[in-house]
Amino acid sequence: MKEIFTEVYRPKEFEEVVGLDKEIPKLIEDGNIPHFLFIGSAGTGKTTTAKIIIKKLGAEVLTLNASKDRGINIIRDKIEPFATKMSDKIKIVFLDEFDHTTPQFQTALRNFMETHARTTRFIATCNYPNKIIDPLLSRFSQFKFNGYNEEEKYNHIKNIVSKEDIKINEETTQYLCKKYKDDIRGILNFLNKNKYKEITKEDISADNIALRILSKLNNKQWFELRQELLQETLEYEYILEKIDEIVFKHPKISLETKKRINKIIADGMFQMYFSFNKEICFSSILYQIESNL
């Protein structure tokens, strides 16, 4: 079975990570690394870079997904035993999605990091650093992962398209890069899904999906619509942005309705960020839109 593109093209070395801050490899060279906090949206290379660091240092690692392992008991039950056990290797605690942890967890971790700084380093990833308490933020060396050079990103994707012999022209490739912004993983997943066909701009655009959704909602077919959408892989945020744009520009929808739907989408997208099940949030937003059309 062939590996998916995200694994085939996952960087193994620092120089393969698109847009990587050049200071990170320098900090690894002397072996005395700081605590790292990698900040950026999904698919920008945060976790990949952490894995490269761990491999380069030959470190012993404890990996925790902070969206699940988020309570204060995790420090007592998992992190402390790992940090205090004897080892001749550097120990790294990798905290993925760190901005999902509770304030109580963060406060306790702040003190823990001070106590065990000689033996253990922390690498954390997050989307929203404002959700991390300031005293803890100051203990990390922070690096942003959403500053791609557009030409560099485009050339990287173009190279993959060429290697995989994917049928997509330059204009459509540029459109694909623009749509997914900094999410290279999202681009690779899309290419992987459509690698056996000729890809056009219509395949990438969410306009058709957004129009179909609005048509169903306008006809009060939320239940049927949800059954259909459960069978599809969707980019919820992007589709909601398109729905908001279509509603806003529609000449026959009243200003009051446009205001209500805009608020529904804005509030819903905010709630979606905190949810472990984005599909349920998305369906709830659509139900509210249906009730206001």
CATH for the stretch 20-144: 3.40.50.300
Average pLDDT over residues 263-282: 87
Return the closest-CA partner of residue 42 out of 99, 106, 83.
99
What is the rounded average pLDDT of the residues 71-85?
88
- Residue 12, pLDDT score: 93
Is residue 246 within 8 A of residue 214, CB to CB? The reply is: yes
Backbone angles phi, psi at 11, to 5 degrees: -60, 140
Q: Is the pLDDT of residue 1 over 60?
A: no
In this predicted structure, the answer to whether residue 276 has a pLDDT above a threshold of 80 is: no
CA–CA distance, 61 with 58 (Å, rounded to integer): 9
Domain ranges of the chain: 20-144, 150-204, 207-292
The DSSP secondary structure of 43-94, one letter per residue, reads: TSSHHHHHHHHHHHHT-EEEEEETTTS-STHHIIIIIHHHHHS--SS-EEEE
Average pLDDT of span 135-159: 89
Label residue 152 by pLDDT band (50, 70, 90). confident
Q: What is the CATH number of domain 207-292?
A: 1.20.272.10
Q: How many residues does the chain have?
A: 293
Task: State how far the Cα of 21 lies from the Cα of 28, in Å rounded to an integer.
Answer: 12
Q: What gap in Å lies between CA 124 and CA 63, rounded to an integer?
A: 10
pLDDT category, 183, cuts 50, 70, 90?
A: confident
Please give the angle made by the CA atoms of 86, 35 and 98, to the nearest 5 degrees: 100
Mean per-residue pLDDT, 207-235: 88
Give the per-residue pLDDT at 228.
Answer: 87
- Write down the mean pLDDT value for the chain: 89
What tokens were used for 80?
């402390």
Cβ-based neighbours of 264, under 8 Å, separated by 6 or more: 285, 288, 289, 292
**pLDDT score for 180:** 81
Which CATH number is correct for 150-204, 3.10.590, 1.10.3470, 1.10.8, 1.20.1660? 1.10.8
Same fold, 20-144 and 150-204: no
